[in-house]
Structure 1
Amino acid sequence: MAVMIKWLLRVAGAVVVLALVAVLVAYMLLSRSLPEYDKRLTVRGLDAPLEIVRDNANVPHVFGTKDTDVFFGLGYAHAQDRLWQMMTMRRTVQGRLSEVFGTRTVKIDSTLRRFDLYNLARQSVAAQDAQTLAALKAYSDGVNARITEINQDALGRGAPEQFLFNAPIAPWQPADSIALIKLMAVQLSGHLDNEVTFARASLALDDPARLDDIMPLAPGSGIAALPEYASLFPGAEFRHAQAEPDLTGDPLSPFKRRAFAGASNAFAAAPSRSAAGGTLLANDPHLGFSAPNIWYLARLELQSGGVIGGTIPGIPVILTGRSARLGWGVTSSYLDDQDVFIEELNPDNTNEYRTPDGWKSFRTSRSIIEIKDADPVTLTLRWTDNGPVLPGSHYNLSEVTPPGHVASVAWTALSGEDTTMTSAMGLMRAQTVQQAIDLSRLYIAPSQNLTLVGQDTIALRLIGAMPRRSARHESEGRMPSRGWLPENRWQGMLPFAANPEFVAPKGGILGNTNNKVVDRPFPMHVSYLWGDTQRVHRWRRLMQGRAVHTRDSFIEAQLDTVSFTARSILPLIGADLWFTGEAAPEGTPERLRERALTMLADWNGEMNEHLPEPLIYAAWMRALMDRLIRDDLGPLSREFDHPDPVFIERVFRDVDGASAWCDVKQSAAQETCSDVSRMALDDALIWIEERYGTSLESLRWGDAHQATHDHQVLGEVPLLRYFVNIRQSTSGGDNTLLRGRTRGGEGPDPFQNVHGAGFRGVYDFADPDSSVFIIATGQSGHFLSRHYDDLAQLWRRGEYIPMSLDPDLARAASVGVTVLAPRAE
């Protein structure tokens, strides 16, 4: 027995030693790809030495003798810190993820191949001006210099992920950067999904009038009556399709539901509304969270002056930031830049589709998707005059496509002469607000609201191509339309002068929270879908609450967590529940409801992570939305998994008979809205009790509202996920200025914070060096780097780092200086 124990101990000891050796070897291999920032390197492609000074937050400050050298340095810095992210994004837009990730991503690849975005980006290279082409070429050379260094010095394949996935790295090209802008357009688009959902709701509802409730317009002027979707295709039978894999659920997918189709805040003050007498600008673009964050901070010292702010690795542009004389910020404009068309097939030849001039052959091509550990798949890509033909699984298009038809999409991003990159490059060199506006003429997609501040004025301009539609369009772009009718087809683009513009407003304050910006009749309306009807009310109050503003008051507004929605909706849905009825015995559901209502009655609507009331409120709203729509919409109700405050207000105010939603169709009784509200609150409390216990006072919103900065491919790997995922308790919610969009859905964590401000910047032109910014994780994409998450806690606490163009401040306590020198040929 003693001998057996001795051998068991020896075996156990050997296993432990082998495990430690394996861990050490793995760490050694993975750490080889950690960038070294303090070094001198000779590279090809430079005319003179350049410096990359990494300040104490690891923000690269790039100094060169000419602009092309500076862009070379930015490419090298991006590749040092975010090479895996860049290569994954490039594979995504190329439709080549399956070469690395196997069958998991075939649906994503096949859909992106149909859009053909990468080939359109290659065509667009020739449309750029000479200065932009030179910058793109230099940037690509910088990226490739880092790739060459990795290969020559065996630097761990450049990223830890490269050891787990065999993903050969091709040289970077100018077209790759243009393609990534088109990929951003995919992530920010919501109209295709919205049109299909509108049509599905039209088919599902017994009363067509209820469409105005469940998919309401942003408050403002009304819209002319639309036809029922089924009436556009007389005699057609629409079938509920078998459930397809949801492309929006995969972390690698760029396709997002309309609830996550981009959001942001940007606001500016003129000198007359600034305490220090200079213009002010705040900007916080909202995108899905990930680790590393999509944003990367950088400073470029161009011949026209220094620029600093947020970049996206792979795109050599400061997308939001400032120079010495100009600041710029972006928000999603929600321009209706997509239309879905239902194309009729020729029953005698399905290779043809109907046009206003008769039958016409599809433009076709073949594309082969290589799949890791599986046979390749060959696709036949088809295009109509309106745009590419999409698979029926994409956003459930099959459910609104009658037999004998296919769906295509028109989209401004499908341009082979896309000069968006030239516009963005020019913006960094602009010296005045008017110069920036003039340069935005070349901007195509994705459409944005560009907020500008100069030395003495402020402006907001919608940038991006606006489709020209006929006033006789049968659906006004709100739902799919018949592609063969000439009045439904796009008629080119509107002139640049049609884009809404606001320059030097009399009140001295302007801003955008994705709210409705203009109230013009169709077809000059801009959009029927807007990203915000709620945050703007709180923003307006904060802006009007002060005669003059400061950098700190703008920071306070950017971090505000008071929910206008909670303050306005709770009195409506609880009007007949508060302080009514007899006192209930302790331990009963009625007593629990009384406690919850008492807590909410004393609450000011602040979505603070340490408070219990936000969780009670959010769970109540979620249960209420489900109670109101599930019996009417059935499975389609899953598409409306975020409570819509405008819908709920219509129902409880009985606008145009909207209270009909409160009655449960399947029950014999006539339920009132008060009944449904009470039942929804009980549902919410039961869910809270099962998940968090019955002690309502000890609940914390932050326990449920955790920011999920998860690694896209390693975030679900057991054990490893604890090293690569960044989770944080956060304040805010769906409708607060400090926006923390919740996951929604029926999963176990519906209130996780999955979408918000990955970048925040506040610029004060009375004292530009006092300007500040922050990103949500860290500069590095290497999970063994201390810069992987070193900014995360600052971001969570609402803190910032300085945004200075002073070279001496950048060098002070820098984490390293990289000198790139030209190599003698």
Structure 2
Amino acid sequence: MVLIFKWLLRLTGGAILLALLAVVGLYFLLSRSLPDYDKQLAVKGVSAPVEIVRDNANVPHIFGASDDDTFFGLGYAHAQDRLWQMVTLRRTVQGRLSEVFGPRTIDIDKLMRRYGLYDLARRSVAAQDEATQQALRAYAAGVNARLTEINDGALGRGAPEMFLFNAPIAPWQPADSIAIIKLMAVQLSAHLENEVLYARTSLEVEDEARLADILPEAPGSGIAALPDYAALMPGAEGLRHAALPQKDQHPLSPFKKRAFAGASNAWAAAPARSASGGALLANDPHLGFTAPAIWYLARLDLQSGGVIGGTIPGLPVVMTGRSHDLGWGITSSYMDDQDVFIEKLNPDDPDEYLTPEGPKPFRTERTIIRIKDADPITLTLRWTDNGPVLPGSHYDLATITPSGHVAALSWTALTDADTTMTAGMRLMKSASVDEALAAGQLYVAPSQNLTLVDHDTIALKTIGAMPRRNAQHDTQGRMPARGWVRQNRWRGTSPYSANPEFIAPSGGVLGNTNNKTVDRPFPLHVSFVWGDTQRVHRWRRLMQTRAVHTRDSFIEAQLDTVSFTARSLLPLIGKDLWFTGEAAPEGTPDRQRQRALDLLSEWNGEMNEHMPEPLIYAAWLRALQDRLTRDDLGPLAREFRHPDPVFIERVYRDIDGASAWCDVRRSTRTETCTDIARLALDDALVWINETYGTALESLRWGDAHQATHDHPVLGEVPLLRYFVNIRQSTSGGDNTLLRGRTKGSGPDPFQNVHGAGFRGVYDFADPDSSVFITSTGQSGHFLSRHYDDMAQLWRRGEYIPMSLDPDLARAAAVGVTVLEPAAQ
């Protein structure tokens, strides 16, 4: 027995020792790729030493003897901290993810090959001006210098992920940077899905007035009634109730659902409305949360002056930030820059489609997709005059495409003369609002609202190519149109002067929360679908209640968590429920409902993470949306999971008979909107009781509203996910200025998955008092202390200084890298 015990002890000790050695060995391998920020390195491609000073937040301040040397330094810094992210973005737009990740990403690759964005990016290099081409070449050389250093120094393959998903890394090319801009356009575009959804809903909803309820236009003047989709598209009626099986979206997919297709806030105050006497600008672009965040902070010392702000790894431009003379911020414009065309096949030859001039053959090309651990597949790509032919599974296109037809996409990003990179480069070097506005003329896609300030004035301009449509267009771009009808086809793009602009407004304050900016008739309408109808009301109130603003008042607005939506909807949906009903015993559903209503009746609409009311309210609205739509829309109701405040308001104000949504058609009795509100509240409370318990006063919104900064690849790996994912309790909600867009589905529908990955506030009276923050940290290496060192600051609403003073950067630098010209 003693002998057995001794051997068991030895075996256990040996196993523990082996495990420890394995952990130490793994840590050694993974830590080899941690960047050394304090060194000198001889590199090819610079004309003079380049200095990269890392301040105490690990923001690189890059100083070069020329602009090209500075861009070289930015490329090197990006590759030091975010190589895996850059390579993954490039593989995504190339349609080559499956070479690394296997069959799970094959659908993404197929779609990206059909879009052909990478080939368009390669051809767009020649469309850039000479300075931009030089900057792209210098930036690529900086990335490749880091790749050479990794290979020569055996630096752990450059990133921890490379050990799990090892694949050769091709040298960076100028086209790669342009391709990433096009990939961002994919992530920010929702009009394709909106068109399909509009057509699907028109097939399901029998009463045309109800279509205006469930897919409401932003408040303002409406448009003429559209034709019925079934009447417009022969054979479409047979597609009614069609539904495709739902697939979980891969974390690497750039094809976001319409609820997550981009948002953002930006506002500016002229010197006359600023307490300091200098112009003010605040910007917080909204994208899906990831770890690391898409944003990377950097300062560039250019010949035109210093520039600092948010960059995207892979791009040699500051996308949102400031120089000494100019500040710029971006928000999604929601310009309708996509149209779906239903192309009719030639019945005598399926390799041809109909055009206004008669049958025409598809332009075709074959491409091979290589797949890890599987046989490669050959894909035949097809294009019509209107654009690439897309599969029926993409955003459920098959559900609105009759037999004998295919769907094609027109989109402004599908050009091989895309000068968006040149526009970004010129914007970054502009010294005034006028120069920046001129630079915006070359911007193509994704369309943005550009908010600008200089020392004297403020402006907002929609940039990006706006399709020029015929006034007689069948559907006005609201839903798919017949591709063989001449009047539906695009006629190029509108002149830059047609894009909305607001320069030096008399009130001295302007801004955008993705709200409707203009109310113009089609075809100069910009869009029928806008990203916000709610936040703008709260923003307007905060701006108008002060005669002058400060940096701190702009920060206060960025972090505001009061929901205008809650304040406006709760009195409507609960008007016949407040303080009514008989006394109910403890533990009964009636008593629980009364307690919930008592809490909500005293609530001011603040979506604070520590309060129970936001969770009760959010669960009630979600259940209400479901109750109102499920009976009428059937399976299609799953496309409307996020409560639409305009829809709910129309129903409860009975606008144009919208209260008809409250009646359950399949029941014998006639339900009222009060009945549905009460039933929805009971549904919400049952879900809350099962998920969080029955003690309503102890609920915390932040427990449900966790920000999910998840690693797109390693975030699903058992055990490892606890090291790479960043989860935080957060305030805010779908419709607050501190926007935290909820997931909307699954067992955790209120997870915060989409919001401000970057926040910046700039004061031009005291530029060095400007501040910024990102949602995670600078490094993409999960063993680095800079992987998540900004995360808690971001969660608490804190910022770090944004200074162009090199001495301040050096004062507390975490390292200084000097890139010296290598001997030839």
Query: Per-residue deviation at 1:235?
Result: 4.3
Tell me the SS of whatever aligns to 2:727: strand
Query: What do the CA deviations read for 1:183-232 (whole angstroms, capped 9, x no partner)?
Result: 00000000000000111101111223211000000000011011111111
Query: Per-residue deviation at 1:3?
Result: 2.0
- After superposition, where does 1:223-622 map in structure 2 within 5 Å? 223-236=223-236, 237-238=238-239, 243-244=244-245, 246=247, 249-622=249-622
Query: Per-residue deviation at 1:816?
Result: 0.1
Letter in 2 for 1:787: H
Q: Which structure 2 segments of 5+ residues have no match?
A: none
Q: Distance in 2 between matches of 1:246 and 1:526?
A: 32
Higher mean displacement: 380-389 or 10-19: 10-19
Q: Does 1:15 align with 2:12?
A: no
Q: Which structure 1 segments of 5+ residues have no match?
A: none
Query: Per-residue deviation at 1:479?
Result: 0.4
Q: Which residue is equivalent to 1:806?
A: 805
- Contact (CA 8 Å) 2:235, 2:403: kept in 1 or not? no
Query: Per-residue deviation at 1:819?
Result: 0.1
- Contact (CA 8 Å) 2:235, 2:402: kept in 1 or not? no
- Contact (CA 8 Å) 2:200, 2:240: kept in 1 or not? no
Q: Which residue is equivalent to 1:751?
A: 750
- Contact (CA 8 Å) 1:463, 1:499: kept in 2 or not? yes
Q: Which residue is equivalent to 2:194?
A: 194
Query: What do the CA deviations read for 1:31-59 (whole angstroms, capped 9, x no partner)?
Result: 00000000000000111001000000000
- Contact (CA 8 Å) 2:204, 2:241: kept in 1 or not? no
Letter in 1 for 2:461: R
Query: What do the CA deviations read for 1:440-473 (whole angstroms, capped 9, x no partner)?
Result: 0000000000000011100000000000001101
Letter in 2 for 1:319: M
Tell me the SS of whatever aligns to 1:484: coil
Q: Does 1:767 align with 2:766?
A: yes
Q: Distance in 2 between matches of 1:49 and 1:244?
A: 57
Q: Distance in 2 between matches of 1:266 and 1:384?
A: 39
Query: Per-residue deviation at 1:245?
Result: 5.5
Query: Per-residue deviation at 1:346?
Result: 0.7
Tell me the SS of whatever aligns to 1:314: coil
Query: What do the CA deviations read for 1:471-530 (whole angstroms, capped 9, x no partner)?
Result: 101111110010000111101000111000100000000000000000000000000000
- Contact (CA 8 Å) 1:244, 1:393: kept in 2 or not? no
Q: Distance in 2 between matches of 1:50 and 1:754?
A: 38
Q: Distance in 2 between matches of 1:806 and 1:141?
A: 27
Q: Which residue is equivalent to 1:209?
A: 209
Q: Which residue is equivalent to 1:722?
A: 722
Q: Distance in 2 between matches of 1:671 and 1:250?
A: 40
Q: Distance in 2 between matches of 1:569 and 1:250?
A: 35
Query: Per-residue deviation at 1:239?
Result: 6.0
Query: Per-residue deviation at 1:244?
Result: 4.4
- Contact (CA 8 Å) 1:433, 1:458: kept in 2 or not? yes
Q: Distance in 2 between matches of 1:552 and 1:777?
A: 23
Q: Does 1:706 align with 2:706?
A: yes
Tell me the SS of whatever aligns to 2:427: helix
Q: Distance in 2 between matches of 1:231 and 1:581?
A: 49
Q: Distance in 2 between matches of 1:33 and 1:692?
A: 42
Q: Distance in 1 between matches of 2:280 and 2:454?
A: 9
Letter in 1 for 2:476: E
Tell me the SS of whatever aligns to 1:341: strand
Q: Distance in 1 between matches of 2:611 and 2:772?
A: 27
Give the structure-2-normalised TM-score. 0.99
Tell me the SS of whatever aligns to 1:16: helix
Q: Which residue is equivalent to 2:732?
A: 732
Q: Distance in 2 between matches of 1:632 and 1:10?
A: 69
Letter in 2 for 1:394: H
Q: Distance in 1 between matches of 2:233 and 2:264?
A: 38
- Contact (CA 8 Å) 2:534, 2:735: kept in 1 or not? yes
Query: Per-residue deviation at 1:242?
Result: 6.0
Q: Which residue is equivalent to 1:790?
A: 789
Tell me the SS of whatever aligns to 1:376: strand
Residues 670, 244 of structure 1: alpha-carbon distance in 2 compared, 3 angstrom cutoff: closer
Query: Per-residue deviation at 1:6?
Result: 2.0
Q: Distance in 2 between matches of 1:239 and 1:587?
A: 45
Letter in 1 for 2:622: R
Q: Distance in 1 between matches of 2:348 and 2:245?
A: 29
Q: Does 1:132 align with 2:132?
A: yes
Query: What do the CA deviations read for 1:749-780 (whole angstroms, capped 9, x no partner)?
Result: 00000000000000000000000000000000
Q: Distance in 2 between matches of 1:391 and 1:788?
A: 39
Q: Distance in 2 between matches of 1:169 and 1:396?
A: 35
- Contact (CA 8 Å) 1:292, 1:781: kept in 2 or not? yes
Letter in 1 for 2:790: L
Higher mean displacement: 309-318 or 662-671: 662-671
Q: Distance in 2 between matches of 1:241 and 1:80?
A: 49
Q: Distance in 2 between matches of 1:538 and 1:523?
A: 30
Query: Per-residue deviation at 1:5?
Result: 2.3
Tell me the SS of whatever aligns to 1:310: strand
- After superposition, where does 1:607-686 map in structure 2 within 5 Å? 607-686=607-686
Query: What do the CA deviations read for 1:615-653 (whole angstroms, capped 9, x no partner)?
Result: 000000000000000011111111111000000000001
Tell me the SS of whatever aligns to 2:79: helix
Q: Does 1:162 align with 2:162?
A: yes
Q: Distance in 1 between matches of 2:344 and 2:242?
A: 19
Letter in 1 for 2:658: A
Letter in 1 for 2:820: A
Give the structure-1-normalised TM-score. 0.99
- Contact (CA 8 Å) 2:244, 2:399: kept in 1 or not? no
Tell me the SS of whatever aligns to 1:218: coil
Q: Which residue is equivalent to 1:42?
A: 42
Letter in 1 for 2:637: S
Query: Per-residue deviation at 1:234?
Result: 3.0
Query: Per-residue deviation at 1:813?
Result: 1.1
Letter in 2 for 1:110: K
Q: Which residue is equivalent to 2:218?
A: 218
- After superposition, where does 1:167-178 map in structure 2 within 5 Å? 167-178=167-178
- Contact (CA 8 Å) 2:715, 2:724: kept in 1 or not? yes
Query: Per-residue deviation at 1:581?
Result: 1.6
Q: Which residue is equivalent to 2:184?
A: 184
Query: What do the CA deviations read for 1:697-730 (whole angstroms, capped 9, x no partner)?
Result: 0000000000000000000100000000000000
Q: Distance in 2 between matches of 1:669 and 1:112?
A: 51
Tell me the SS of whatever aligns to 1:352: strand
How many residues were matched structurally?
Answer: 823
Query: Per-residue deviation at 1:167?
Result: 2.1
Q: Distance in 2 between matches of 1:241 and 1:213?
A: 22
Query: Per-residue deviation at 1:564?
Result: 0.1
- After superposition, where does 1:79-98 map in structure 2 within 5 Å? 79-98=79-98
Letter in 2 for 1:449: N
